[in-house]
Structure 1
Amino acid sequence: MSKTYIPVALRRQVYERAKACCEYCLIPDVATFAPHEIDHIIAEKHSGRTEAENLALSCTLCNKHKGSDLASVDPETGKIVPLYHPRQDIWHEHFRLSGSEFVPLQQFSGN
């Protein structure tokens, strides 16, 4: 998690753009026990900047699970694939909701 100060106006902009929902799992802020956090999509340690296009509203669980990762290994193919990027990818093209489970669609575009 970043130690960089994020100005209040920028935090508000990210929160409003996300409509108060986690940009990774779409859970509303009001439905969680801990308030959503501002996440650097590309971590500062990977030269990610503290600007609106690189920030996402994230629930605590998604933020902790993603960490500073940029990619992961697909368990079926063994290929390195980029993680979902809320500024570049469209959620419904990567996941579907099945009951209370998020199911990946296995359409890794490589972008």
Structure 2
Amino acid sequence: MYRITKEFHFSASHQLSHLPEGHQCARLHGHNYIVIVELASATLNSDGFVRDYGELKPLKAYIDDTFDHRHLNDVMDVPSTGENMARHFYDWCAAVWPEVTAVKVSETPKTWAEYRP
């Protein structure tokens, strides 16, 4: 199986107000997010790629237009946890590129959430 990944970055604020009072994530705060999309295929296309990295530009545009420097509570219909964000980006990507196998989201240098069906 061939696998490729591409990394995207954005900054945003959010507040997980459903958490108990006093929980640090219940307060308004922000992160410098990293999103990594993974694509896989058993075969390569005629150019020798799983998919040309340039074809992933629509994800960058979507992130820049919808998430970058936004308040995620205003953008997402579910709590803006890393897990929910990974699923959201996976669903968006899978609708565009059938080779998508996983999406990972990082809020901090030490934390990652991944959605992989």
Same fold (TM over 0.5): no
* TM-score normalised by length of structure 2: 0.28
| Higher percent of residues as strand | 2
Higher relative contact order (CA 8 A, sep 6+): 2
* TM-score normalised by length of structure 1: 0.29
